[in-house]
Structure 1
Amino acid sequence: MGEQSNRFHREIVRPSTEELLKVTEGQMILDIACGNGNFSRRLADLGAEVVAFDYSATMIERALLRSTDYLNRIQYQVVDATNYDSLIELGIGRYDGAVANMALMDIADLTHLTRALQQLLKRNGVFVFSIPHPCFQAPNTRKIHETEDINGEIVTRNSVQISKYLTPEPTETIGIKGQPVSHLIFHRPLSYYVQLFLSTGFVLDGWEEPSFQIDEDSGKRFDWYELPPAVLFRFRKL
């Protein structure tokens, strides 16, 4: 991710997350699974006070190294998002909002985090998160890029072929091209997330399905234009 993050984060995740989160000066925001702190620093630039945590102590070390100019605005911690007691220690009723960028699919059990967020957020506080779109990036999805000559014009089409969607299941995957080993993600249908949060006192009041904008390289590769590669939710605490 580095300092500038990758194209997926810059064009798909960050703009929609900022639109749904609507950070204002002085808000307290919880950044869940913060990685190297890329978005934590962005939140601070937008005026927020940030508490950021990750399960990986190494990631937190990287975040601290990259955030030397932000340590008066960002507090980094090593926390397990599946440990309810550790989450509650972050501060009951402390946060105006919480965010998790492309992380919930990496967490085996979301029930403890969901319960904790109901306690951590202030009344009317929001939780915004992004995940790979489960309708178009389900286990064993085939990405298809076709080129056809139609009446002297080269036409390209992108499509996906899926055979699984409804059943939650773990699967090994490559998240970023070039990573040395695969990792587990936990596929869940859209209804799983909605039912989980509604059952713990949240309401769904924001939803985005962003896609890439067509550019000069369109037609040369599989890219996500009409098929959104991610989906973002905003749940609000009642």
Structure 2
Amino acid sequence: MRHGKDKRESKGERRLNEWGHLTEASKSRWEDNAGYWDDYMGEMSNRWHRELIRPATERLLSVQEGQMVLDIACGNGNFSRRLVELGANVVAFDYSPTMIERAERRSQAYADRIEFKVADATSRDDWERLAAEGPFDGAVSNMALMDIADIAPLVQALRQCLKPHGTFVFSIPHPCFRPPGARQAYETEDREGEVVSRSVVHIAQYATPGSYEAIGIQGQPVPHYMFHRSLSSYIRLFGSSGFVLDGMEEPTFRKDEGGGLGKFEWDEIPPVLVMRFKRDACATTD
């Protein structure tokens, strides 16, 4: 089967290509925030990662002993170290030098199994150097693609970096329920003589791609840029580079264990999306 790139470009896809001018500003802001984020995440990361992101990612990635895995936008190396515990050898990179310095410091006991690099996922030159470290059995990126202005170089490069049938697993804030401007509310209703409480999300934008400033952790030095893409835009982009979506999870918090963080309960509405794309060894791209 031949997978060719559709030469027709939708209005939304054209907008996706307009964010390149924010790449350097985005990198600068993450460098400013790196130390604060590392201190906050620490050795074990936060509850979102421990209870939602990590378990789903591990299931979809299904690491086998001795595999080579590429950790994209690795932050302070929390998941890189977990990959080693699962049996992998890891090449991990981030475009923040401070993050990589912190990751190396935290990962000294894993130094023989993790190679950390400063690299930019939007740079084709950096991807050429990363490809020389492969080929990789799998690649992973936890809660990072929404922070990268241009993910086209990443998607295209993964085809060269991964082995035939290699997989890429990534997590992002769920684009359907956490798009720009989404409002979370906790409502009560008198329903037939009984007071019922529920968590709801109000959204006014989904289909239109958008860039916006956000605060991921209260108190971080500066807001960082985030880039909203619809589900279909991710699927089209990976499909055009010879990947097939073959796994997806929408984890939620368990209501009997608190249901979420704070008053809002993410037990029925999934706050994150984890997707697995497999390289189609038979596909060709234009």
Residues 1:196 and 2:228 are matched in the alignment? no
Partner of 2:266: 224
The residue identity in structure 1 corresponding to 2:46 is N
The residue identity in structure 2 corresponding to 1:226 is E
| Structure 1, 81-90 or 185-194: larger mean CA deviation | 81-90
- CA deviation after TM superposition for structure 1 residue 152, in Å: 6.5
- Distance of 2:257 and 2:153 partners within structure 1: 45
Residues 1:66 and 2:110 are matched in the alignment? no
TM-score normalised according to structure 1 size:
0.96
5+ residue gaps in structure 2? Answer: 1-40, 281-286
Contact 2:253 2:259 (C-alpha < 8 Å) held by counterparts: no
User: CA 1:45–1:118 in structure 2 vs 1: closer, same or farther (change >3 Å)?
Assistant: same
The residue identity in structure 1 corresponding to 2:55 is P
Q: Secondary structure at the match of 2:198?
A: strand
- Distance of 1:185 and 1:121 partners within structure 2: 27
Aligned Cα root-mean-square deviation (Å): 1.5
**Aligned positions, number:** 238
Partner of 1:27: 67
TM-score normalised according to structure 2 size:
0.80
Q: Deviations for 1:80-130, whole angstroms, at most 9, x for unmatched residues?
A: 000112112113551000000000000000111111100000001000000
The residue identity in structure 2 corresponding to 1:32 is I
5+ residue gaps in structure 1? Answer: none
Contact 2:259 2:266 (C-alpha < 8 Å) held by counterparts: no
The residue identity in structure 2 corresponding to 1:225 is D
- 1:73-88 pair list within 5 angstroms: 73-88=113-128
Partner of 2:153: 112
Q: Identity across aligned pairs (percent)? A: 61
User: CA 1:190–1:216 in structure 2 vs 1: closer, same or farther (change >3 Å)?
Assistant: closer
Contact 2:177 2:269 (C-alpha < 8 Å) held by counterparts: yes
Q: Secondary structure at the match of 2:50?
A: helix
Partner of 1:56: 96
- Greater helix proportion: 2
- 1:115-130 pair list within 5 angstroms: 115-130=156-171
User: Which stretches of structure 1, 4 residues or longer, exceed 2 Å deviation after superposition?
Assistant: 147-155, 176-181, 215-220
Q: Secondary structure at the match of 1:222?
A: coil
Task: Give the number of the structure with larger relative contact order, counting CA–CA contacts within 8 Å between residues 6 or more apart.
Answer: 2
- Distance of 1:166 and 1:146 partners within structure 2: 26
- Distance of 2:265 and 2:218 partners within structure 1: 14
Q: Deviations for 1:16-46, whole angstroms, at most 9, x for unmatched residues?
A: 0000000010000000000000000000010
Residues 1:100 and 2:141 are matched in the alignment? yes
| Structure 1, 101-110 or 139-148: larger mean CA deviation | 139-148
Partner of 2:17: none
- Distance of 1:171 and 1:137 partners within structure 2: 13
- Distance of 1:234 and 1:216 partners within structure 2: 27
- CA deviation after TM superposition for structure 1 residue 177, in Å: 3.0
